[in-house]
Amino acid sequence: MLYYLLPPLASMPYLGFLNVTRYITFRTAAASLTALVISLVLGPWLVRKLRDFQIGQIIRQEGPQSHRAKAGTPTMGGLLILAASIGPTLLWADLSNPFIWIAMGATLGCGAVGFVDDYLKITRRSHHGLWPRYKMLGLIAVAAAVGVAVLLLSYQNPPLYNTRLIFPFFKGLIPDLGVFYVLFAVLVLVFASNGVNMTDGLDGLAISTFAVSAAAFTALAYVTGHAELAKYLLLIRFPTSELTIFPKAAPITTPTARSMTLPFIANSLNSDAKLMASP
What band does 262 get if pLDDT is binned at 50, 70 and 90? Answer: very low
Share of the chain above pLDDT 90, in %: 10
> Is the pLDDT reported for residue 215 higher than 50?
yes
Q: Which of 140-154, 186-200, 226-240 has the lowest mean pLDDT?
A: 226-240
- CA dist list (Å): 105 to 13, 28, 109, 162, 194: 39, 19, 6, 19, 18
Choose between 200 and 95: higher pLDDT. Answer: 95
The model's confidence at residue 277, banded by pLDDT at 50, 70 and 90, is very low
**Closest C-alpha to 43, from 221, 268, 256:** 256
Q: What pLDDT, on a 0 to 100 scale, did the predictor assign at position 60?
A: 53
Residue 197 pLDDT = 72
Confidence of residue 183 (pLDDT cuts 50, 70, 90): very high
CA-based nearest residue to 163, from 182, 152, 178 = 178
Q: What does the DSSP assignment read for 86-130? A: HHHHHHHS-TT-HHHHHHHHHHHHHHHHHHHHHHHHHHHTSS--S
Residues 262 and 207: beta-carbon distance below 8 Å: yes
pLDDT tens digits for range 127-155: 677 888 898 999 999 999 999 999 999 89
> With 50 as the cut, is the pLDDT of residue 20 above it?
yes
Which pLDDT score is estimated for 69? Answer: 54
> Would you say residue 61 has pLDDT above 60?
no
Q: Which range, of 29-33, 90-94, 116-120, 189-193, averages the lowest pLDDT?
A: 116-120
Per-residue pLDDT, 201: 61
If one compares 207 and 34, the residue with the highest pLDDT of the two is 34
CA–CA gap between residue 136 and residue 61 (Å, rounded)? 24
Q: How confident is the model at residue 118 (pLDDT cuts 50, 70, 90)?
A: confident
Closest by CA position to 224, among listed 174, 275, 266: 275
Q: pLDDT band for 83, please (50, 70, 90 cuts).
A: confident
Bigger pLDDT: 61 or 8?
8
CB 154 within 8 A of CB 102: no
In the Cβ-directed half-sphere of 90, how many Cα atoms lie within 13 Å? 8
Which one, of 220, 219, 206, lies nearest residue 251 by Cα? 206
Mean of the per-residue pLDDT values for the chain? 75
Which pLDDT score is estimated for 181? 92
Q: Would you tell me how many other CB atoms lie within 10 Å of the CB of residue 248? A: 26
Instruction: Specify which of 113-117, 143-147, 167-171 reaches the highest per-range mean pLDDT.
Output: 143-147
Strand partners, 176: 164
Q: Is the pTM of this model over 0.85?
A: no
Count of helix runs (H) and strand runs (E) in the chain: 10, 0
Closest among 112, 87, 103 to 218, alpha carbons compared = 103
What value, to the nearest 5°, has the Cα angle with vertex 105 and ends 237 and 269?
30
